[in-house]
Structure 1
């Protein structure tokens, strides 16, 4: 079975833009291509799992989400990096009712694990919100990281994170994971 880094999208891969639906506004966070290359160099997959409640809110369509993902793929390819799978939850409980894919539920991770034959117990979740970490734990990931990009800096300032792995950004989390720090 394969191992993976499950990555939130906004604030982890790309610069946080509220309800990003315009591919032209997608901008990679510095260090992300290098981090993805490092993930692959260690034989891990890079799988994005992202809540996209703007779809449920009628702010944009699933096609627009896919267009943003294609643009991010283009930006990554230009830097010699890639994502192995894109998963998104288009739901929001106030608009569509409950679902099993919206983080903190582990549905997207479980689906990716089935489709890519991923060993969750030897995989890693990286996010900028507590719901990302909760999804990783619920799926059985061996390690979860909260990073300070995106909303992460605010979470660090306002939350007791005793026992939580905290890194500066994706590159730091990847480096520290492979250095055996978590």
Structure 2
């Protein structure tokens, strides 16, 4: 039981450091240019930060473990850390674009609509298809609590799959008793 508590404590600490990193990244993106929230490289940075902290958490828990580091323990170490980061990411995004600066959220939606229209035009979509897509975007608030919850659930599934791979790498097999 002591080892399980230690694992959760270590993973939670890494999760809080991850949460701090996510808030810092979002704050810098907001301060530098709101348009950064529509850029692919911000998502890539967040991906590597989330996975990196998850791997570091798993490695630290394995080092701190006094027992066989099972697949379940490896996945738990990764999952606790990443879930804290993902929840804070969703809350930060919701707070920035709904509470702190709703105009920034509206600006991002407008900027995104322009990007989608340009991209669809480059791929040969008809104006009618573009108009339908833009109309659908206007009806959905991408920063609503519902959409943030859907995004969080999607991210949890995605990062859990990565966590399964990380757990396979870090697990220790039970020694065979001859």
User: Scaled by the length of structure 2, what TM-score is found?
Assistant: 0.29
Structure showing greater relative contact order (alpha-carbon pairs closer than 8 Å, 6 or more residues apart): 2
User: Scaled by the length of structure 1, what TM-score is found?
Assistant: 0.29
More helix by share: 2
Q: Which has the larger radius of gyration?
A: 2
